[in-house]
Amino acid sequence: MDRRTFMKTAAVATSTWIFARPSNLTAQSGEMNRAFKLKYAPTLNAFSAHVGDDPVENIKFAADQGFSAVFDNGLMGRPKDQQEQIAKALADRGMTLGPFVMYTEWQTPTLVTGRPDARAALLKAVERAIDVAKRTSAKWALVVPGPYDRALEWDYQTANVISNLRSAAELAAKAGLILVIEPLNPHDHPGQFLQRIPQAYQICKAVDSPAVKIVNDLYHQQITEGNLIGNIDRAWDQIAAFHVGDNPGRMEPGTGEINYRNIFRHLHSKGYQGVICMEHGNSKGSGKQAEQSLIAAYRAADNF
């Protein structure tokens, strides 16, 4: 169910503020278990060097470090009993679960078409997602509309996506589930229909449902269009969640060109209460020191 495989290696960041002494980064440190200002959400295996791959142990460790959210793209593919264990661990700690992947298509045009089978597949995915949301108390499910159709005029494709999402929204709204559509950059994901925040905004306004919103992946949008804060403000009423990763390299904040400290400050000033999914790799590789450096990077970006 994972949408992409995170990059495992990259150039070491040159910004010295990322790094901190490991002794200052443990769960016992007063600084490092202080709650973050925003709901940064590590994956359920982000701290496997410390606690292994058990998602519940990762949740416990993340909470000890001051994180108040997690996310899992592959939540729908987990066994039901594990989904329930994840939900309990989060509820016990008052933590939020970010968007999970509900529907993706990478090769064949589907939601841009008027094909009945494409709509049926989307609605079936919504029904499955509703069951997962009930077990896990998840609020958001992610939709990638899929490739564009080179044989069909663009405006017809837009109309078809809107129509398909309206049908999906009717089901999702009854269950209190929000479908979030994600624009993807054309360099990493060539041929995808949904690429830009203004485009996603247009679609959400046309669908006109509280059950269809945007997940703004700032890594993708830095590549596609830039103007990150400007587009955050213009699309604000339709944004439900964020993904982050620095560019180039899709690693943690501080390793690239995006000023995440300013962006996080801006979100905080707007009163943002949603999840910020840490959908990126670790520039330091694997191991405890790398995981500690990851935490330090978010401490630095959260220092506003």
- Beta-ladder partners of 143: 103, 181
167, 195, 191: which is closest to 181 by C-alpha? 195
The mean pLDDT values, 10 residues at a time, for the chain of 304 residues are 40 34 40 88 98 98 98 98 98 98 97 97 98 98 98 98 98 98 98 98 98 98 98 98 98 98 98 98 98 98 98
Residue 169 lies inside a defined structural domain of this protein? no
Which pLDDT value is given to residue 33? 78
* 152 lies in some domain: no
Read off the CATH number of the domain in which 46 is found.
3.20.20.150
pTM of the model: 0.89
SS3 label, residue 201: helix
Residue 91: how many other CB atoms lie within 10 Å: 12
User: Does 51 fall in a domain?
Assistant: yes
Q: At 4, is the secondary structure helix, strand, or coil?
A: coil
Question: Whose CA is closest to 218, among 268, 171, 252, 179?
Answer: 252
Question: How many independent structural domains does the chain possess?
Answer: 1
Does a structural domain hold residue 88?
yes
Q: Is residue 238 part of a domain?
A: yes
And the tokens for 2?
């994972």
Determine, yes or no, domain membership for 177: no
Q: Which residue segment(s) compose the domain that 218 sits in?
A: 18-101+201-301
User: What is the reported pLDDT for 27?
Assistant: 39
